[in-house]
Structure 1
């Protein structure tokens, strides 16, 4: 039985299947691929962000499933949404739908108030990131990004080798407002947010005005980990798949 492909693109933390614990079961009904973006590896040293390389990884995953078929649905979280949108702009014929979870697509909303305030807060940190230690950058990033919602965030020490590697990777991530993004024409799009942070609600509102469907599920920056968020993602992909199948028939 033919299974539609679904490609999962992680954000800045966990990668591969570990970034999508609630979506593992979708492999029963779909040809599910859990990607690793450029510079994310369990052994190799982390690398600087390369937006074009990330988009190319998504496109390769969609290009051929080994059975002569191509294309699929893309589910992306946070900075992974940048790669997903870039891939869809370059090859909309390969992207059957986009499900963007808390998308860090700040270059689209650069002139809007919440995005401008976030950039004003974070730009000074990114300006000096190559002069900071990995741990110092991590602590200050978390403090600035999450302290308003979680007092004391970022104060804990980074304990082990894997956490150290994750801190290095975080420091090497380019600021998302530098991404070369454009609106994706004609691709069914879901935006899922956690309803906790005005920045992501502002981005969702912008995308909604361009035709995207916006849904909110509790769960902070990872609403895909909640039962409701998982249900929304699965229902959206299933609905788009049925609609496209009916149209093709």
Structure 2
């Protein structure tokens, strides 16, 4: 039996399969690919973020299978939506988890407040150290501490974070006409505001426990799996 492809696109933190621990089992029913975005590598030095490069990675992965579902977290949702705009024929569905699609809601209050908070840090990111940037980023964005063990991977992670472009600069202004789920953790007005916007444009909106990673909760994982399965059944019914 042919397995539909599901492409997973990570956010700012863990990447590849490590970013989706609860979804590994989906490989039993689907052709699951856990992508690494541009500049995310366990050995090579991090690179400046490249949203168009991320789109190309996804389009290539979907094209190889003739299409598939896309599940994306945080900033990975930006390139996922752009891929759906560029190649809607390849994207069966979009599952957007805590999507950082701030350019869609730039004029709304929570997004505007977030940009006011974060813009000064982005403005000086090329003039401070990776560690200082990471520390201040976590303090501003999550009211959390970013200090941890001083390992080569931790240093690469801090540099990678500093090299990410502001999400509100993404060239995202069109919502693709594909079945879309938006899943949030119900903890942060910014992501709820984005989810509300996407709901108004036709997305199915769901909330699950888990803070910024609701995909790691039982309900969040079940929601993603159920949505993809429902879309897959609908496609099969139309094809028969």
What TM-score does the superposition give when structure 2 sets the normalisation length? 0.98
SS in structure 1 at match of 2:145: coil
Partner residue of 1:110? Answer: 106
Conserved 8 A contact 2:125-2:162: yes
One of 110, 115, 119 as aligned partner of 2:115: 119
CA distance in 1, matches of 2:88, 2:80: 11
Query: Once the 2 structures are TM-superposed, how far is the Cα of residue 157 of structure 1 from its aligned partner?
Result: 4.6
Q: What does 1:100-179 align with in structure 2 at a 5 Å threshold?
A: 100-147=96-143, 153-154=144-145, 156-179=147-170
* Residue 99 (str. 1) matches residue 90 (str. 2): no
Partner residue of 2:236? Answer: 245
SS in structure 1 at match of 2:72: strand
Conserved 8 A contact 1:141-1:154: no
Partner residue of 1:193? Answer: 184
* Residue 205 (str. 1) matches residue 196 (str. 2): yes
- Shift in CA distance, 158/131, structure 1 to aligned 2, threshold 3 Å: farther
CA distance in 1, matches of 2:175, 2:221: 24
Paired residues, number: 240
Partner residue of 1:42? Answer: 42
Structure 1 spans left out of the alignment, 5+ residues: 148-152
One of 171, 174, 199 as aligned partner of 1:180: 171
Query: Once the 2 structures are TM-superposed, how far is the Cα of residue 155 of structure 1 from its aligned partner?
Result: 5.7
CA distance in 2, matches of 1:209, 1:29: 31
CA distance in 1, matches of 2:203, 2:82: 16
